[in-house]
Amino acid sequence: MNAQPSAAQQAWGDFAPKFAELADKVLFGDIWERKELSKRDRSLATVAALVALNRTDQLRFHLHRALENGVKKQELIEEITHLAFYSGWPTAVNALTVAKEVFSKS
């Protein structure tokens, strides 16, 4: 067992333990581990959804995860640029602002 608490446990474990458990077991333990899509493809799809829905808090985490899953910074910037025409210019501006912050720290 991993001695380090998961991100979900760190964020919500004390406040909403069942939510953290579901995030760990179902979302990241089951959904993200399914073999039908690579983790890289799942990262691209997740980032696209978060950009389109303007979910910048979750985008921060998933941009880091995308980099860990082999997506290049330039690919993520291109994805956000592409999405500007499908999800709206303001959502892309917000996403690029978050990406610039995340990439400057990695």
Q: Mean pLDDT in each 10-residue stretch from start to end of the chain (106 residues)?
A: 83 96 96 97 98 97 97 98 98 98 93
Please give the DSSP secondary-structure letter assigned to residue 5: P
Q: Can you tell me the distance from the alpha carbon of 40 to that of 20, in angstroms, rounded to the nearest whole number?
A: 23
The rounded Cα 67 to chain-centroid distance in angstroms is 10
Residue at 3 is within a domain: no
Q: Can you tell me the distance from the alpha carbon of 41 to that of 31, in angstroms, rounded to the nearest whole number?
A: 13
Alpha helices for the chain (secondary structure H):
7-12, 17-22, 39-52, 56-68, 73-87, 89-104
This prediction's pTM: 0.91
Is 57 in the same domain as 87?
yes
Please give the DSSP secondary-structure letter assigned to residue 44: H
Query: In the prediction, which pLDDT does 67 show?
Result: 98
Task: Name the residue range of residue 30's domain.
Answer: 8-35
Query: In the prediction, which pLDDT does 1 show?
Result: 54
Number of domains composing the chain: 2
Residue at 1 is within a domain: no
Is 55 in the same domain as 30?
no
Query: In the prediction, which pLDDT does 106 show?
Result: 80
